[in-house]
Structure 1
Amino acid sequence: MPVAALPVIFRCFGVRTLVFHLRQAPPYGIHSDPKEFPMRAFPVVLAFFPTFVLAEDIPLNSDVSAATLYPRGATVTRVIQFNAPAGQHDLILTDLPQNTPLDSVRVAVDGAILGSLTVRNDFVPPRSNDDNAAFKVAEAEVERLEQALRDGLAGVERIRLEQQAAEARVTFLNQLGEGEGVAEMDVAALRDLVAMIGEETLSAQQTALDAQLRADAAKRGLKDLEEELEDARQRLNSLVPEKEERAMLAVSVSADEQVQGKLTVTYNIWDAEWRPVYDVRLDRDAGKLTLDRGVLVAQHTGENWHDVALTLSTARPSEQTAPGQIWPWLRRIENPAQVRQKNLERAQSGALFGAADEAAAAEPMMVEEADAEFDGLAVTYSYPSPVSIASKADNIRISLGTLDTSAETTAQAVPLSDSNAFLVAEITNDMGELILPGAAMFYLDGRFIGQRHLELMAAGAEADLAFGPIEGLRLTRTVLDRNEGDRGIITKSNDLLEAVEIKVENLTQEDWPIRLLDRVPYSEQEDLEITWSAQPRPTEENIDGKRGILSWEFDLGAGDSKLISLEHELEWPEDKVLR
């Protein structure tokens, strides 16, 4: 059998199968004739001929079919239909984004038996540059308009040349009348020369003027073409062509007969995100707060997504997904002299290096692991219509509907920092969903108040949402007395006394429930003694677990005012300094 027939056999039986069986054949001696090798191998090949048919690589084109987006990251799914004859084949995809984390790629095959997977980020075979039809049309339109503009400018330049030629004729005729031979001409010849110069000069000037007018008109006519070209370029740029390199995935499949199968490829990426945006609307008369929810969706994978089934999840696999660990805490007691000696030795040998080694030994580095299962722990939103998102360009806004809850409004006054009270809506998140942090627009009775970041609000949590200042609720905080000095007869000490008067004035035309916040100092040292008094006494102390924060709650009628007196005293030993 000729050697040239081997490639056919290799394709029929597959390189791996052929090599495997040839390795089982008896080894050849160093004196064996190489020409005998094909003939000796041929019976081995024929023995397996009935079980194998033509094997081939089957290139496939794929697009993103579905994506589940997290606040950072996404799980992407590509579904590809394929046809394959009986036998073993490699399904080749060369259009995955180059930064695809190949260790997260998962593959399922319907209609055939799944074999091995080969993945590669670099040295990928070239893929067909099949831009979408809209991009090709826009690109062709830009090229057409650019050529039309070049032709128009060339036409203007040709007219300018006519004008320059006519002006050159005028210059020549002017010089002709100044020649040395003119003085020697008789009257008749001179008359003919003057007439000729006049006629030709007039004709040349008219030609130059006509050319200038036509050139100016042609130039003005190109402005519409220039604007049309600029619009075409913007349309082309908005289509965001895909130019990035790609990764490759080869999926080995086998079947006993010809199949029409389906290949499903799933992988996780970090180059996509969604972030919440809110319109927070407060209706004071109805005592209702409405949360109009939306999201901004973007992806930077290097490929454009067309008609993708989009799901949004509040799961956060990019953040901590496992509880922290507690390590044994070893404490020692040592002689003070030994401690000083160790500190000296450490300073001499390099304290930074020693401290780093000790920290590494005490607490090993933790590796964060992502868990793809979030059932019962996260809210997901499936958008009903397919969505198209260009890479590195689009921010798609999607509505998630509205949530309502009751709201109790009050005027919150902080005279230590503000001169006016602010309207605050006190709510409880009984809306049944986690509210993620995001940018929010605040509206009060239909009027835009301002933009502010909305904090995370767990289900069942309480929150205070502010809706701008109440200009008619004036706050003043005056320090009436502040003195610092020594006192005592035998044991001397220092003390500080401060008296403050707080005034709230209601200059509006309605009654307001007021919640006023202020503070007094607190101490964690026995030597620093702090006493304080207030008139009237605060309604609540240590608000939200913050020591020394006081709250007064009262109603203030239209035109009324209220005074609060607050006094505190600090006392500490003479040899100490207050901070």
Structure 2
Amino acid sequence: MRALFLALPLASLALPAVAEDIALSSRVSAVILYPQGATVTREVAFSAPAGQHDLILADLPQGTPLASVRVVVEGVRMGGVTTRNDYVPPRDVPESAALIDARATLTQIEDALRLARNDIADIELEAEAARARIAFLAQIGQGDGAATLTPDQLRALSAVIGSETLEARQAETAATRRADTAKRALKDQIKARDAARQALEALVPEDEARAMLAVGITADAETQGTLTVTYTIPDAGWQPLYDLHLARDSGAVRIERGAFVQQSTGENWQDIALTLSTLRPSEQTEPGQIWPWIARIEDPQAIQPMARGKAETVLMAAPMAEAAASDMAVASFDGLSVTYSYPAPVSVTTGADNVRLMLTPLETKAEVVAQAVPMLDQTAYLMARLTNDTGEMLLPTSEARFYLDGRYVGQRWLNLIADGDKADMSFGPIEGLRLTRLVRDRNEGDRGILTKSNEQTETVEITVENLTGEAWPLRLIDRVPVSEQEDLEITWTAEPMPAERDIDGERGILAWTFDLPAKKTQAITVKTRLTWPEGKVLH
């Protein structure tokens, strides 16, 4: 590295090289944003005379992970690359017109505010002087000299005191009113000052400290080229958001999609080409490894019981406003991930609030049913049972909002729904579908629950009452016990029998499907019997 201790002129590409070092000013041109992290690309054109030179970038954010920096140079032969976080030469960054205007506006408002406060202080001094005159006039008539005055002199003195007191009180009142008016106007000026200060801060959040990159090049002749620098950072990311609209009469589901984008890199991204990716390089990127299982036998007394609360640890991968169509990102799927290339340049301020971008909406169809779980709930819920046939995956997010016939019903977590996956989405409770689940005659020994030393029987009655004025397709879910021991025998019957058993591979989970007319009630009875050998205890 040659002459890196010299102050480098960075304001313009047209500046000549200093001591064979060519100082360049760069900016972020493109970003691939992941749910956590980003790949940043900086491009800058340069001109170089024949010979060996160093291209100097001294405007990378200081937190740039320099080990991840990759450099490509076009137009010349590239040599070594040197990076540095400390002892970086100073840089001269011209201020934008917006920043200059914002600072001037704030200064003007602060000057006006200072003058207004001085005016209020002067007015309050006038009021204080008037009160002092009133106090002085009140003391004149109380002196010993008043007793020696003639009646005519007393009348004249009283007239003077009255006139002067009236004038002083009028002056005090006028000054007090002017001060109150000025104070009310001061509140608006303070609000304007705060707004101007906030606007200025939004324009200058970048960190001043920077990192430096030096790239050695060799040019056979005077030439022009392009320097491209890419690196991966952790301090950025995006989160999907979904507005899911269900039309109950047709079962049509419209999924309006967007993305919250944020970054805290220490520099602003201005008019970048932004691509959103579903890849997660910050998480597990290779399959787990299984180690040999070596079985051993020990004497019984040598085997120590596992302490309560301890268990084998298994490492698992983590689970994965209306706008014009031209302003929405369109998805591209390569078999491994989905990317969304935003069609317009995007600006994202470092450390600021999330920037919301719109993605193209998706549409599908769903089967609308009322789902009842009387063991846990007192009402049924409206469910949209659908298959994701949109050709795209829905990513997991906490920013999923649900709307039924245009009415907002709530926000909750949405799990990953891959292309082709089936999903049940709830669009809120149906208050008119009341659920009851009870064990009949629980307190009688000869009915309901009968417990012997090796037998237990139970009868459960479930009712669904439709208090609405329309019929509902209903799916009711309940359960019966299951056994994993040969000695524990379980039998059960139901009236009517369920339409589905072992739902989603979960043993003992049952489902009944039926249409429930308006103002009608459906009853379901489930009987279970458990038997086990004498001397054993049921848990």
* TM bracket, shorter-chain basis: 0.7 to 0.9
Cα distance in 2 for partners of 1:230, 1:124 equals 35
Aligned to 1:468: 428
Cα distance in 2 for partners of 1:433, 1:545 equals 26
Cα distance in 2 for partners of 1:311, 1:319 equals 19
Aligned to 2:366: 407
Aligned to 2:451: 485
**Where in structure 2 are the equivalents of 1:116-131 lying within 5 Å?**
116-128=80-92, 130-131=94-95
Superposition deviation, residue 519 in structure 1? 0.7
Q: Secondary structure at the match of 1:107?
A: strand
Q: Secondary structure at the match of 2:64?
A: coil
Q: Could you tell me which of 281, 295, 303 is aligned with 1:331?
A: 295
Q: Could you tell me which of 499, 510, 514 is aligned with 2:474?
A: 514
Amino acid at match of 1:483: I
1:563 is aligned to 2:523: yes
CA contact (8 A) 2:449 2:459 kept: no
Cα distance in 1 for partners of 2:496, 2:177 equals 90
Amino acid at match of 1:556: L
**Where in structure 2 are the equivalents of 1:356-375 lying within 5 Å?**
375=334
Superposition deviation, residue 328 in structure 1? 1.4
Q: Could you tell me which of 431, 435, 441 is aligned with 2:401?
A: 441
Amino acid at match of 2:495: Q
1:317 is aligned to 2:278: no
Query: Compared with structure 1, are the counterparts of its residues 165 and 502 closer, same or farther at alpha carbon in structure 2 (3 Å cutoff)?
Result: closer
Cα distance in 1 for partners of 2:372, 2:354 equals 39
Query: Compared with structure 1, are the counterparts of its residues 159 and 500 closer, same or farther at alpha carbon in structure 2 (3 Å cutoff)?
Result: closer
Query: Compared with structure 1, are the counterparts of its residues 548 and 211 closer, same or farther at alpha carbon in structure 2 (3 Å cutoff)?
Result: closer
Cα distance in 2 for partners of 1:186, 1:405 equals 106
Q: Could you tell me which of 341, 344, 347 is aligned with 1:385?
A: 344
Superposition deviation, residue 259 in structure 1? 3.0
Superposition deviation, residue 120 in structure 1? 2.2
- Which segment is superposed worse, 396-405 or 186-195? 186-195
Superposition deviation, residue 310 in structure 1? 0.8
Superposition deviation, residue 386 in structure 1? 0.8
Q: Secondary structure at the match of 1:122?
A: coil
Amino acid at match of 1:506: N
1:226 is aligned to 2:190: yes
Query: Compared with structure 1, are the counterparts of its residues 330 and 500 closer, same or farther at alpha carbon in structure 2 (3 Å cutoff)?
Result: same
Q: Secondary structure at the match of 1:394?
A: coil
Query: Compared with structure 1, are the counterparts of its residues 537 and 196 closer, same or farther at alpha carbon in structure 2 (3 Å cutoff)?
Result: closer
1:94 is aligned to 2:54: no
Superposition deviation, residue 469 in structure 1? 2.4
Aligned to 1:267: 231
1:544 is aligned to 2:510: no
CA contact (8 A) 1:159 1:214 kept: yes
Cα distance in 1 for partners of 2:171, 2:431 equals 76
Cα distance in 2 for partners of 1:541, 1:223 equals 69
Aligned to 1:29: none
Q: Secondary structure at the match of 1:143?
A: helix
> What is the CA deviation profile of residues 506-555 of structure 1, one whole-angstrom value per residue up to 9, with x for unaligned ones?
34343333222111111112232212122222222211111111122233
CA contact (8 A) 1:114 1:253 kept: yes
Query: Compared with structure 1, are the counterparts of its residues 66 and 464 closer, same or farther at alpha carbon in structure 2 (3 Å cutoff)?
Result: same
Q: Could you tell me which of 474, 489, 494 is aligned with 2:454?
A: 494
Q: Could you tell me which of 339, 347, 355 is aligned with 1:396?
A: 355
Superposition deviation, residue 159 in structure 1? 3.6
Q: Secondary structure at the match of 2:28?
A: coil
**Where in structure 2 are the equivalents of 1:188-207 lying within 5 Å?**
none
CA contact (8 A) 2:51 2:221 kept: yes
Alpha-carbon RMSD: 3.6
Query: Compared with structure 1, are the counterparts of its residues 159 and 271 closer, same or farther at alpha carbon in structure 2 (3 Å cutoff)?
Result: same
Amino acid at match of 1:485: T
Percent identity between the aligned chains?
56
Cα distance in 2 for partners of 1:529, 1:229 equals 78
Superposition deviation, residue 215 in structure 1? 4.2
Cα distance in 2 for partners of 1:534, 1:174 equals 101
CA contact (8 A) 2:205 2:266 kept: no
Query: Compared with structure 1, are the counterparts of its residues 514 and 187 closer, same or farther at alpha carbon in structure 2 (3 Å cutoff)?
Result: closer
CA contact (8 A) 1:55 1:88 kept: no
Q: Secondary structure at the match of 1:573?
A: coil
CA contact (8 A) 2:205 2:350 kept: no
1:308 is aligned to 2:268: no
Query: Compared with structure 1, are the counterparts of its residues 95 and 180 closer, same or farther at alpha carbon in structure 2 (3 Å cutoff)?
Result: same
CA contact (8 A) 1:424 1:464 kept: yes
1:297 is aligned to 2:297: no
Cα distance in 1 for partners of 2:159, 2:373 equals 99
1:421 is aligned to 2:380: yes
1:65 is aligned to 2:24: no
1:454 is aligned to 2:420: no
> What is the CA deviation profile of residues 175-228 of structure 1, one whole-angstrom value per residue up to 9, with x for unaligned ones?
667677777899999999888777776766665555555544544443443332
Q: Could you tell me which of 74, 81, 84 is aligned with 2:38?
A: 74
Q: Could you tell me which of 507, 530, 536 is aligned with 2:490?
A: 530
Query: Compared with structure 1, are the counterparts of its residues 330 and 160 closer, same or farther at alpha carbon in structure 2 (3 Å cutoff)?
Result: same
**Where in structure 2 are the equivalents of 1:168-187 lying within 5 Å?**
168=132, 171=135
CA contact (8 A) 2:284 2:317 kept: no
Cα distance in 1 for partners of 2:35, 2:457 equals 52
Aligned to 1:39: none
> What is the CA deviation profile of residues 278-301 of structure 1, one whole-angstrom value per residue up to 9, with x for unaligned ones?
111222332322211111111121
Query: Compared with structure 1, are the counterparts of its residues 163 and 384 closer, same or farther at alpha carbon in structure 2 (3 Å cutoff)?
Result: same
CA contact (8 A) 1:240 1:391 kept: no
CA contact (8 A) 1:441 1:452 kept: yes
CA contact (8 A) 1:494 1:571 kept: yes
Q: Which has the higher helix share?
A: 1
Query: Compared with structure 1, are the counterparts of its residues 174 and 577 closer, same or farther at alpha carbon in structure 2 (3 Å cutoff)?
Result: same
Amino acid at match of 1:310: L
1:578 is aligned to 2:538: yes
Q: Secondary structure at the match of 1:109?
A: strand
Aligned to 2:13: none
Give the TM-score of the pair, scaled to structure 1: 0.77
1:242 is aligned to 2:206: yes
Query: Compared with structure 1, are the counterparts of its residues 495 and 303 closer, same or farther at alpha carbon in structure 2 (3 Å cutoff)?
Result: same
CA contact (8 A) 1:287 1:407 kept: yes
Cα distance in 2 for partners of 1:224, 1:562 equals 65
Aligned to 2:328: none
Query: Compared with structure 1, are the counterparts of its residues 532 and 197 closer, same or farther at alpha carbon in structure 2 (3 Å cutoff)?
Result: closer
> What is the CA deviation profile of residues 487-510 of structure 1, one whole-angstrom value per residue up to 9, with x for unaligned ones?
xxxxxx421110112223334343
1:376 is aligned to 2:335: yes
Cα distance in 2 for partners of 1:65, 1:136 equals 24
Cα distance in 2 for partners of 1:502, 1:495 equals 23
Superposition deviation, residue 171 in structure 1? 5.0
Larger Rg: 1
1:286 is aligned to 2:250: yes
Cα distance in 1 for partners of 2:533, 2:298 equals 32
Amino acid at match of 2:538: L
Superposition deviation, residue 389 in structure 1? 1.1
Amino acid at match of 1:314: T
Superposition deviation, residue 147 in structure 1? 1.6
Superposition deviation, residue 268 in structure 1? 0.7
Q: Secondary structure at the match of 1:137?
A: helix
Q: Please, which runs of 5 or more residues in structure 2 have no aligned partner?
A: 5-16, 319-332, 441-446
Cα distance in 2 for partners of 1:555, 1:258 equals 83
Amino acid at match of 1:532: W
